[in-house]
Every structure is written in structure tokens, then in C-alpha cells.
Amino acid sequence: MSGALEGAVSQLTLAGVPNARVDAELLVGHVLGLTRGAVQSKAITDASLDAAHAATIAELVDRRAAREPLQHITGRAPFRSLELAVGPGVFVPRPETEQVVQFAIDALRAVAVPEPTPAPELVEGPPAGPIAVDLGTGSGAIALAMATEVPHARVYGVEVSPLAFVWTKQNFRESGATNATPIFTDLAIALPELNGTVSVVISNPPYIPRAAIPRDPEVRLFDPEIALYGGDDGLDVVHQVSATGLRLLHSGGTLVMEHGELQAAEIAELLRADGWLAVASHPDLLGRDRATTALRP
């Protein structure tokens, strides 16, 4: 096995794949049904590798060397405590979004939950608890993280792309989160029945300006354009999120938005002009302003 693994690392390194060794170990583990740690252990002992497995590994390494995303090859993407199904037509969730969704989770957990009534079976309507809406949910990563980590909340994931919504539905179904609901509709008209009742609205909207070309081939060639580009200035969908957030949230409700590292000041100005309060940008682990929060007046 060690020869196949080292060959994969060399091939991916020459192709310019970031973290080539990690990807090589994950691909080998995917084929063999092993964890990355188990792959490392078997490589140290130079465990045998049959011809069929070796051929499959070589095929998958070729695909990764062509810069097809690792997650498309394995069909899975980790996100916080989740493992999501992904593939062509849906945006692959990024590790930096795991930090952004924490703002929404913290806001949901801070909402007081009413005491249960003596006879809850006699109470009509949905269970008491905060409501959260993820606008542009894609794979469902953000919505399902909120639903599974704040189980007393009701969470709705809104998606407009029919290609992405295939993955949305699959992940909502696989998660088993009965408090999470996928919704296929335009962001601007989503969930009018919830107007003024929502505690948290979160979005990772498309924010790349139309003329900007992503450097990474995995993004440029494989992520769907609808999830990347936000008009000439990158803010077309940001305006929609602001308007829909103001409609859905109750007074004091929280808006959380992910964005590009150079957009914080412009988005803060946009939100303040729309009437949002307590607008604040937040750095990621590398010190880049990648998230903005605000409160509905």
C-alpha cells in the first residue's frame, strides 16, 4: 500500500492540489473503507493492496489530479458533526462556514424556551421554540447544523436551484432531524407565513462579483455559478437577504451573513441603510472579516 499512497501523493502534488497527502490518504481510505488513521497505519506496515483496489485508487487519483473536488469524488463532505451528500449542482460546504454558523447557533440557544403546558397533547400548532431560516441552503449544511445542535428550534432551509435542491432533500432526509424542513422557493418570497416570527436568519449567499474569476479550479470549474456570483458588485443576493430577513425576523432577531473578506465595510453600509441595528463584522481564524451579524429593529 505504501507505494500506491506515495505515488498518489506525488501525482497530486505535481498537479498543484493543496494538502496532497491528506487527499491521497482520504481517497485510499474511501476505496478501502478505512479511516485516514487506518490508512496511515497500513502504509507504515506496507500492507498488501489487491489489483482491483489499486486500479480504483489510481482512477480516483487521476480525477483529483484533474482538480475535481475531493468531495465530488467521494460523494461526501464533512461539516461540523455532519457528513453530507454532495455532487454536481450543489456548492460544497467549506470549513470556514462552520465558524459562521456558530453565531446563528449561539443566537438560537439564547432564545428562552417557554415552559411546557400541563397537557401538551391538547396544544395545537408547532412546538414552542425559536425559528431559524437558512436562505440559500444548498446542501443543507447550515440549516442541519442548527437543527441538530439546537434541537428545540424549528429550522427551514430555503433553496432556489432545482439541481441543488436534490441534494438538500437527500441530506435533510438522511439527517433524521424532524425539526428541519427543506423549502424550494425564491428567497424573496420565502415563508410569508413566518413573517415577524423568526429568531435567526442566516445566509451564505453568492457574493463573488461577476467579473471576478475564482483562482481555484475546484471552485471555478465545479461549483455551480448560481452559488458563486452575485451580480456586477457581488451584492445582488445580499440585498435580497437583507429584505427577506427584515420581513421574517421579529424585533431583536438576528441576521448572520457570510461574505468575502473585502466586503465587510460595504455590506455593513448596506445593512445600516436598510435599517439594521448593531451591525458588526467578525474575523475568521485567519483574521479575515468573513461574517457580519445584525439585529432587526
Residue range 149-174, pLDDT digits in tens:
999 999 999 999 999 999 999 999 99
Is the pLDDT score of 130 beyond 70? Answer: yes
Q: What average pLDDT does range 188-216 have in this prediction?
A: 94
CATH C-level class of 77-295: alpha beta
- Prediction pTM value: 0.89
State phi, psi for 290 to the nearest 5 degrees: -120, 0
Question: Distance of CA 86 to CAs 31, 138, 139, 144, 182, Å?
Answer: 17, 9, 7, 14, 16
Question: DSSP letters of 5-48?
Answer: HHHHHHHHHHTT-TTHHHHHHHHHHHHHT--HHHHHHHHHTT--
Residue range 27-45, pLDDT digits in tens:
999 999 999 999 999 899 9
Question: Distance of CA 5 to CAs 33, 44, 56, 72, 138, Å?
Answer: 15, 11, 13, 20, 33
Q: pLDDT tier at 128 (50, 70, 90 boundaries)?
A: low
Residue pair 75/87 in contact (Cβ under 8 Å)? The answer is yes
Closest CA to 238 of 211, 194, 208: 208
